Structure 1
């Protein structure tokens, strides 16, 4: 695929980008290098290659969701700077 000035201008318009005339030539060169690299990847034989699902071989270790005793409300509100009868009081952040 050949990257043209029209492709760059249309792509820039769709992405709501603007750049100077001299930067446009550099953009054409850079995009052409990317497209050429992708075309080079098409030549690689990928038969019998499993698709990559993740870059990491780590696996999640899940734990059982056990219930435990909760902190009583009175104890949790004891050190609160401001409190209502049942709730923490925080400063208003939305006008």
Structure 2
């Protein structure tokens, strides 16, 4: 499988990118180099190798989710730049 200039032009159009001829050529070469490397990986003998999601053993290191009392509203609002009726006041972003 190889990428053509036409493929690059099609993807650029979908992404609404205006590419110069030189950029199209450069991306075509780069994408083909990536595909060639992926083809080399297909040549590897992976029989007997179990599929993994990560190369290192990873475990969840998060603490237990334990219900506890929340901070009092006075402490929460102590560092708020602006506050109104116990709520953070922020500038309007919608008209």
Determine if contact 1:82/1:89 at 8 Å carries over to the other structure: yes
Gaps of 5+ in 2: none
- The answer to whether the aligner puts 1:50 opposite 2:47 as a matched pair is no
Determine if contact 1:8/1:27 at 8 Å carries over to the other structure: yes
Change (3 A) 1:55 1:18: farther
Alignment of 1:6-21 (within 5 A): 6-21=6-21
Determine if contact 2:8/2:27 at 8 Å carries over to the other structure: yes
Which entry has the higher C-alpha Rg, 1 or 2? 1
Change (3 A) 1:46 1:88: same
Q: Distance in 2 between matches of 1:78 and 1:10?
A: 53
**Hey, what does 2:87 align to over in structure 1?**
88
Cα RMSD (Å)? 2.8
Gaps of 5+ in 1: none
Task: Calculate the TM-score normalised by the size of structure 2.
Answer: 0.67
Q: CA deviation at 1:18?
A: 1.9
Change (3 A) 1:78 1:20: closer
Relative to structure 2, which stretch is displaced further, 64-73 or 39-48? 64-73
Task: Calculate the TM-score normalised by the size of structure 1.
Answer: 0.67
Q: Tell me which protein shows more strand as a share of its residues.
A: 2
